[in-house]
Homo-oligomer: A and B are copies of this chain.
Amino acid sequence: MFTVFIVDDDAGVLKALSRLLRTRGYDVRSFTSPQAFLADHDASIPGCAVLDLAMPGFDGIALQRALTARGSSRPVIFVTGKGNIPTSVHAMKAGAVDFLTKPVNARDLLGAIARAEERDTASRQTQAELASIEAKIMTLTPREREVLSHVVAGQLNKQIAGDLGTVEKTIKVHRSRMMEKLGVRTVADLVRMAEKAGISQ
C-alpha cells in the first residue's frame, strides 16, 4: 500500500485530490497545515507528499527542508497556484519529484506520484539493505571489525596478524567468526557487502 500525504490549506483542493487518488487505489491522508503533517509523521510508511507551495507561515519548501532535516527521504511533489521559476528550480534542486502548477492536471499528478513511488520503493530497499548490513556489523566484536576491514583491504591473515600485533592463528578465528556473523561465505560477497556499507573506500 502506498500512501499519499496531501498538505494544502484549501479544503476544496484537498477534497478533490483525495477523491482522485483514492479512486486510483492510493491511501490518502490530508492535512490542512504543515504542522499537522509534521506532527507524529511516520517516516516508515511507504508514501509520498503532495505539498501546496504557498501556505501561511510555513511554506512547502520549508516543509521539504524539515523533512530532509529529520532524515526522512519521503519523496515530495509540489503543487502551486502562484509559484515562480526560482522557487520551482530550488525545489527541484532540493530533490522534489515534480513541481506542478494549479489547476493540477490529473495525468501529470498521477505520473508524478508513480515516479515518487518508484523512488520511494528504491530508497526503502537500499535503506533496508544498509540497515541489515549495519545490524550484522553491530554484532561483531571490536577485534572482528578490525579483521573485517583488513580482509576487505585484501590483506593476508599473516599480514593482518602483524598489523594487529598477534599471530595468524588468532586472525583465522576472528575471520571465521566474522564471516559467519555477516552471513557470507566468500571474500567476494564480503567485499560487496563492505562496499555497500562504505567500508574502506
Contacts and interface: CB of A to CB of B under 8 A. Distances in A.
Interface footprint category on A? 20 to 34
A191 interface: yes
Contact of A99 (B83, B89, B189): B89
A89 B92 contact: yes
A98 interface: yes
Interface in A46-104: 83-86, 88-89, 92-93, 98-99, 101
Contacts of A192: 191, 195
A187 B84 CA distance: 54
A185 B154 contact: yes
B154 A187 contact: yes
Contacts of A195: 192, 195
Nearest to A152: B188
Contacts of A187: 154, 187-188, 191
A151 interface: yes
A186 B83 CA distance: 56
Contacts of A83: 85
Nearest to A99: B89
Contact of A86 (B86, B101, B185): B101
28 contacts: A83-B85, A84-B85, A85-B85, A85-B88, A85-B99, A85-B101, A86-B101, A88-B88, A88-B89, A88-B92, A89-B98, A89-B99, A92-B93, A93-B98, A153-B188, A154-B185, A154-B186, A154-B187, A154-B188, A154-B189, A187-B187, A187-B188, A187-B191, A188-B191, A191-B191, A191-B192, A192-B195, A195-B195
Given A154-B186, A187-B191, 4 more contacts: A85-B85, A92-B93, A154-B187, A187-B188
